[in-house]
Structure formats: C-alpha cells, structure tokens
Amino acid sequence: MAPEHLPFQKRRRDKVIYPWDCFAPCARRWPRCSPHFRCTETSIEGRLSLMRSHANIRHARAAFPAAANWNRKSRAAGFTLIELLVVIAIIGLLMAILTSALNQARKQARATACMAALKGWGLCWQLYTADHDSRLPHFIAGTVHSTYMETLRPYYGNLNKMRTCPAATKVATGNPTGLQAQSYFGYTRHAWQVDVRQAAWMADTDWGIGSFGENSWVRDVRGTDGTRTASYLGKTWLTVTDRNIKDVPFMADARWNNAWPENTHPVPTRVASEEQMYNIANWSQILNHVMRRHKDGVNVCFGDGSTRHVRAEELWTLRWHRQSRPYDIAGSLHWMKDW
C-alpha cells in the first residue's frame, strides 16, 4: 500500500502531522522517520498506542531502513587498536624527522650568526688600520696592548655579544689555565674566561669572556721599551697593505683569546677529552682553533675583512705568518667527531 493511502493519514488545516509533532519521545526514538508517517489520533493515549504499535514500527523501518542499522554503523566507524597504534607510530616518525630538521636549522642559524659577528670584527680591524695609516697594532707582553678586546674597544663599543659565538656562550670550568684563579680555557661548545682582576694584561672593567681568538702574528711584537723583538722579525704582519694579507687569518673560533699558530705544529692524535688535547702546555699552538664548532670546522675572519668556513684539517694550510708554508694533514682528524 502506498504511504499516501495509509489508514491513519489525515490533514488538519492543510498541515501534515508527523510523529514528532504528536509526542516528543517519538522524535527521540525515530529521528529519521519517513515523512509519509502521519498520525490521525487526537488523544495522547491514542497517539502512544499508535506509535507503539507493531505495524507503525515495521512501517518506519521499511520507510528508512538505514535507521535500523544506525547503531551498528556508528560502532563500526571507530578506530581499532591496530589502527590507533599505526597512527601513533606515524606521528612519532614525523616528530623524529621534524626534530632532526629543527636541530639542523638551529645549528645553521648559529653558524650564520657567528659569521656575522666575525664580519663585524673584520670591520673593526679595517677601521683601526684606517685610523693608523694601515699599520697593525703592537703586541707588548704583559700589558693590555696584547689583546683584540682592548685594541679594538673603540670600534665595537664594548658590545659583549660580539665576543662570543652563539654556539659557545657559556663558560666551562673543566680546563683551568692555572695562571689566574678564575681563568679557564674554552671548549668546542663553551667560551673561555679570563680573571680580569688578576690578569695584568686585561682591563679590570673588561667582561673577560669570549669564544673567538686572535692570530697574534698580525701584531708587531715589541718589548716594554718599544723595541722590536728580534725573534719575530720577518714573521709578523705589519700593515694591511702587505702582500697576501687577504689570505691571513685575523680571528677565528677559538678556545683562548689569542695564539701563535704554526703550520708545523703537531697534529693531535685521538684523545678522550679536549683537556688532554689542549691545555696550558700548548695554549699558543694551532690547536687553539682546531675544533668542529660548525659542522666540520670553524669560521675565520681574514685580513681583507672577509669571512668563510674552514675545515679543521685545512687550518694547517693557512698563511698564519709571513713564513708559513701549507701543510696537508689529509684526514688525520677523522676521529674528532663527538666534540
């Protein structure tokens, strides 16, 4: 029988009465009843009897068969335990990939900031030489005229952040210099510190911390009386107009504020810690700069103000002083991976 010919069909003032118009529980029981299901009862008791009748229930299920399976489908739409574990595993894998990528991006950002700081030091050196007729500064042992921190102070405005690489800002106390109570050599990931209260060659107001070091061969070495030291003649750089000055390292990532690197300094062999490789016994050697602070090496500022990344193995090939000769150490530092 067609729905429009059902015996309980009735119109009231051209308005079709549906089960949910009759009694509220019906709407909760059959939320998707057929629109053809119409009611003719006027009393509440009659409507209840009609809605509960087996015939009407059978008609509602026939008119909208999907309603009968609604609970079954809702249960089937949930996640199984295996599906949930797979989703968790995929999320964990994505997090591992993203974490690695973020770490690499962070290291790259630090290397870029380090390069920018060294570029600033290169500009300070150029300003200094411009004010001193292209001459490089003196080195007078035991005085403040022996460090870039004091020599270039008028040009960097005591801006302490310029003196540390972002990858090595904190001071570690595991490798004391033994010269002053609170002086410590730096590490690949830590800055050096000078006890300015006891160090006569540092101003008492100086910050005393840094992670860059100067190539002291760029200074004209003199005694306290102002005369040039004979043993350094012919080796030190005197002016920025000297030939090949653009290839001379002026500053670089370092474990101490200065050094006197030689291409003939020994290549370190495998050791368990940085303290065993670099300490007070060899503080002035090329080992001051030998590290992998940025990827496989360090950042270096050269005499023409340029900066570039240099592999740790390439440090023996640089022109540190006038008599330097490149020395190829090949892959002798392959073991230096964990610092």
Of 56, 77, 98, the last residue of a domain is 77
- In this predicted structure, the answer to whether residue 34 has a pLDDT above a threshold of 50 is no
Same domain as 312, residue 238:
yes
Tell me: pLDDT of 101 over 90: no
Tell me, what's the pLDDT at 207? Answer: 94
Shared-domain flag, residues 118 and 73: no
Tally of CB atoms within 10 A around 55: 11
Looking at the structure, tell me whether residues 261 and 184 fall in a common domain.
Answer: yes
pLDDT at residue 269, rounded to an integer: 93
Residue that wins the pLDDT comparison between 75 and 242:
242
Average pLDDT of the chain is 84
Per-residue tokens: 54: 């087996």
In 3-state terms, the chain is what percent helix, strand and coil (to 5)?
Answer: 40, 15, 50
Give the rounded percent of residues in the chain with a pLDDT score beyond 90.
61
**Structural domain containing residue 125:** 111-317
DSSP assignment of 121-174 equals HHHHHHHHHHHTTTBPPEEETTSSTT-HHHHTHHHHTT-GGGGSBTTB-SB--S
pLDDT band at 46 (very low <50, low <70, confident <90, very high): low
Q: For residue 173, tell me if it sits in a domain.
A: yes
Amino acid at 315: L
Asked if the model's pLDDT at residue 32 lies above 50, the reply is no
Q: Which residues contact 165 (CB under 8 A, 6 or more apart)?
A: 110, 113, 114, 117, 191, 211, 212, 253, 293, 299
pLDDT confidence tier of residue 49, bands split at 50, 70 and 90 = low
Structural domain count of the chain? 2
| pLDDT > 50? residue 134 | yes
The reply to whether 70 and 188 lie within a common domain is no
The larger pLDDT score, comparing residue 1 to residue 47, is at 47
Question: Same domain, yes or no, for 285 and 147?
Answer: yes
Same domain, 137 and 201: yes
Does the residue 276 lie in any domain?
yes
The 8-class DSSP code of residue 285 comes to S
Q: Using one digit for the tens of pLDDT, what is the confidence trace for 267-311?
A: 999 999 999 999 999 999 999 999 999 999 999 999 999 999 999
- 152 shares its domain with 284: yes
- CA proximity to 188, closest of 273, 81, 270: 273
- Which residue type is seen at 207? W
Residue 328 lies inside a defined structural domain of this protein? no
Q: Both 171 and 278 in a single domain?
A: yes
For 65-76, write each residue's pLDDT tens digit.
Answer: 555 454 555 555
How many residues are recorded in the chain?
Answer: 339
Q: What is the pLDDT of residue 153?
A: 93
Same domain, 183 and 311: yes
- Angle of helix 54-63 relative to helix 44-52, nearest 10 degrees? 60
**pLDDT at position 20 over 80:** no
Query: Is the pLDDT higher at 211 or at 2?
Result: 211
Checking if the pLDDT of 92 tops 80, the result is: yes
Residue 119: inside a domain, yes or no? Answer: yes
Question: Rounded to whole angstroms, how far apart are CA atoms 75 and 65?
Answer: 17
Instruction: Give the position of tokens 């100086």.
Output: 206
Asked if 59 and 124 sit in the same domain, the reply is no
3 state DSSP class of 327:
coil
In a shared domain, residues 127 and 46:
no
User: Is 18 part of a structural domain of the chain?
Assistant: no
Q: How many angstroms separate the CA atoms of 288 and 260, rounded? A: 9
Residue 57 has pLDDT above 90, yes or no: no
pLDDT of residue 4: 47
Looking at the domain assignment, is residue 234 inside a domain?
A: yes
Which residue has better confidence, 203 or 165?
165
Is residue 324, in this structure, part of any structural domain at all?
Answer: no
In tens, the pLDDT along 170-202 reads: 999 999 999 999 999 999 999 999 999 999 999
Alpha helices, DSSP H, located in the chain: 19-22, 24-29, 44-52, 54-63, 65-68, 70-76, 81-131, 148-151, 153-156, 274-277
Q: Is 188 within 8 Å of 291 (Cβ atoms)?
A: yes
Q: Over 90: is that where the pLDDT of 39 sits? A: no
Triad 89, 94, 96: Cα angle to 5°: 95
Question: What percent of the chain is predicted at pLDDT more than 70?
Answer: 77
CB atoms inside a 10 Å sphere around CB 263: 19
Task: Report if residue 278 sits inside a domain.
Answer: yes
Same domain, 68 and 173: no
Asked if residue 51 has pLDDT above 50, the reply is: yes
Q: Integer distance in angstroms from the first to the last C-alpha of the chain?
A: 87
- The tokens of 97 are what? 């990939």
The CB density around residue 318, as the number of other CB atoms within 10 Å, is 21
The β-bridge partners of 215 are 259
Instruction: For residue 193, give both structure tokens.
Output: 């510190």
Q: Is the pLDDT of residue 97 over 50?
A: yes
